[in-house]
Amino acid sequence: MNVQKARVKRAKTLHLRGYFDAAEEIYLRHLDVNPGDVECLNLLGLLHADTNRYETSLQLLRAAIGIEGPKPWLCRNLGIVLERTGDLASACACYRQALASAPEDHGLWAALAQLQANLGQHRDAAISLQTAFLSDTCTPTSRQQYRLSAADAWLRAGDGPAAIALYDEVLKKQPDHKIATFHRAVAWMQCGDLKNARFGFLQTLALSPRHAEAANNLGVLSQLERKLPEAIAHYRSALAFDPNYSSALYNLGAALQESHRLREAICVFRKLLKTQPDHTSAWVNLGNALLGQNQVSPAMAAYQHAVSVTPGDPTAEWNLGIASLLTGDFTRGWMGYERRFSVAGAPPRRQRKAPLWQGQSLTGKTLLLHAEQGLGDTIQFARYAEVFSRQGASVYLEAQAPLIPLLQSTPGVAKLFTPSPEDPDADFHLPLLSAPRLAGTTIDTIPFADHYLQAPAPAVAKWRQWLGPRSAHRKRVGICWAGNPNHKNDYNRSIPPQLLRILDELPGVEWVNLQKGHALPPLNLRDAARELQDFGDTAGLVANLDLVISVDTSVAHLAGALGKPVWILLPFAPDWRWMLEREDTPWYKHAKLFRQQTLREWQPVLHRVVQALSALP
């Protein structure tokens, strides 16, 4: 027996040195004589694994377990081979079986945790690692490493507080531990504790002055706090530390774009895409920056490239739809615009009791149309109630409260109401901005462009009295120079009020203020805005005016829907509904468009307005 053990020992030595053929020959000869030798079966099984014969390796190891039982060392070896084959779940089961008999084996707990992490089971991995560092057999050095790994696992599991608690323990023993310092800051950021996160990343940079990830994350924090110049500086620092750091380059492009530095953003995104041509978000943001420069064809090419990289990407398809609408390609545009509910960060499609209408016959059916975006959007698309009414539907319209008095006059509406938790009984529902697609609207078939709303008669009479007798030689012109300050494009579409001084030089114009919630410009105005109650009230005032001049906001849509002459002042890169270059719009027959020719240059636009007013009879 001693001779046989010595032979197996020699075979094991040959095996460890890589002499697989010689070792295997000895193992096999030994097993011919001792077929139940568990150690030799185990060693031969490991040799087969080392020579990529995994099927027979597993057979041999399972045979050993069948003889000896689920001993920890056998189960561990079987788990190792199963892990090599990619069967991680079975490997985990083997490690757990081994730990049932050897719960103090901290190394095996750590191995199990690695498998669990590879399976995405980060919470289980954290628990396994915590069990490892609580083992009595664990050395102080191993315990500290397991504690750090457990903290990282909690962080990946999304449990920031648990991670922070363990990072704190690591840092008590090693205050200058760079990894724990950085990862604790990441955990603070994950928890929304931006103050401590900033402190942690600055502490990381003090320990590692060229830590690119810490600099990048400081940029992210600054961008979240709307400190864009500071964010840009941090991203540039990260790139100085690591010129190939793609996340920092992408973030820099996004911060430049958010800062309205579009040309710089375009250069950054193009630089990133040279090295990462499959970066879908970079293609989309490149398209957005190009669209902001009114470079519509290159923008569409960027969106199409994003779709080719990631077919079905909702953000790319939605933006491509917007660009298509801007060019007047309504067929493709409406289809892409339907992706708006799937874009990251967008409000989800509201669940309704009634099914979504998808074009079925409306004869004898009830259709619930419901507002989904801004007040101007609701005014613009309320016209579709009559379209669907003519198809046989009884149309219910759900709209924002300030619009209800105005929309009482909407043709085709059987019931009008504000949103409530309880849906009315209906056969179908439809978000209002999906109406053009299902109505088959093209640029030549936009319904009711002349007008489709009427001002409430009491409001008309009220404002006629307020305005007083009309001068035969003066035009009454309502003006609105700013939109919702929370609108993402308000920076471009609102006019600085001091620029309106040029309008004060015009004789023969009686200016009426329609702008609520803003300080008055240096212009002689009759300030009606202070007394406006709702959009029905505003409609009554507009009905008494000769002309409305407005930036792209709800007042422009109100005037257009009433059939009142309205001049709409548009930024260089307009919203999709105003399309490109043309001075009119198929949405409102009595509207005239005044476009910026240069980005954020309003003075030339106002000069053209003055000329046009001067030319009025």
CA distance 607 to 593: 14
Cα dihedral value 556, 557, 559, 560, nearest 10: 110
β partners of residue 396 = 368, 415
CA distance 174 to 171: 5
pLDDT of residue 477: 97
Residue that has been written with the tokens 């906001």 in this structure: 553
Nearest CA among 550, 533, 544 for reference residue 588: 550
Using the 8-state DSSP alphabet, how is residue 551 labeled?
Answer: E
Largest CA distance in the chain: 125
CA distance 464 to 470: 9
Angle at 377 between CA 376 and CA 378, to 5 degrees: 90
273-283: pLDDT as tens digits: 999 999 999 99
Using the 8-state DSSP alphabet, how is residue 105 labeled?
Answer: -
CA distance 489 to 257: 12
Nearest CA among 122, 116, 64, 56 for reference residue 85: 56
Quick one: CA dihedral 206, 208, 210, 212, positive or negative? negative
- CA 142 to centroid of chain Cα atoms: 41
For the chain, list residues with pLDDT below 50: 1
β partners of residue 585 = 588
Nearest CA among 574, 569, 571, 542 for reference residue 558: 542
Length of the chain: 617
Q: DSSP 3-state assignment of 436?
A: helix
**In contact, 284 and 302? CB cutoff 8 Å:** yes
CA distance 217 to 234: 8
CA distance 198 to 203: 8
pLDDT of residue 92: 81
Cα dihedral value 142, 148, 150, 155, nearest 10: -170
362: which 2 tokens? 């409306």
Q: DSSP 3-state assignment of 550?
A: strand
β partners of residue 570 = 595
β partners of residue 547 = 477
Nearest CA among 483, 288, 291, 454 for reference residue 374: 483
The H-assigned helical ranges of 327-364 are 330-337
**In contact, 423 and 397? CB cutoff 8 Å:** no
CA distance 217 to 251: 10
pLDDT of residue 489: 74
Which helix (H) or strand (E) segment is 571 a member of?
Answer: none
CA distance 499 to 481: 10
**In contact, 331 and 443? CB cutoff 8 Å:** no
516-538: pLDDT as tens digits: 888 889 999 999 998 999 999 99
CA distance 529 to 136: 76
202: which 2 tokens? 């600055």
Angle at 471 between CA 466 and CA 476, to 5 degrees: 65
Q: DSSP 3-state assignment of 174?
A: coil
pLDDT of residue 483: 83
Nearest CA among 410, 390, 389 for reference residue 399: 410
pLDDT of residue 3: 67
Q: Which residues contact 225 (CB under 8 A, 6 or more apart)?
A: 194
CA distance 512 to 437: 37
176-218: pLDDT as tens digits: 999 999 999 999 999 999 999 999 999 999 999 999 999 999 9
CA distance 564 to 581: 22
**In contact, 46 and 57? CB cutoff 8 Å:** yes
pLDDT of residue 355: 95
94: which 2 tokens? 């083997």
**In contact, 513 and 528? CB cutoff 8 Å:** yes
Q: Kind of pairing, strands 509-513 and 525-526?
A: parallel
Burial of 466 (0-12, 13-18, 19+ CB in 10 A): middle
**In contact, 166 and 154? CB cutoff 8 Å:** yes
Q: Which residues contact 211 (CB under 8 A, 6 or more apart)?
A: 178, 182, 204, 205, 241
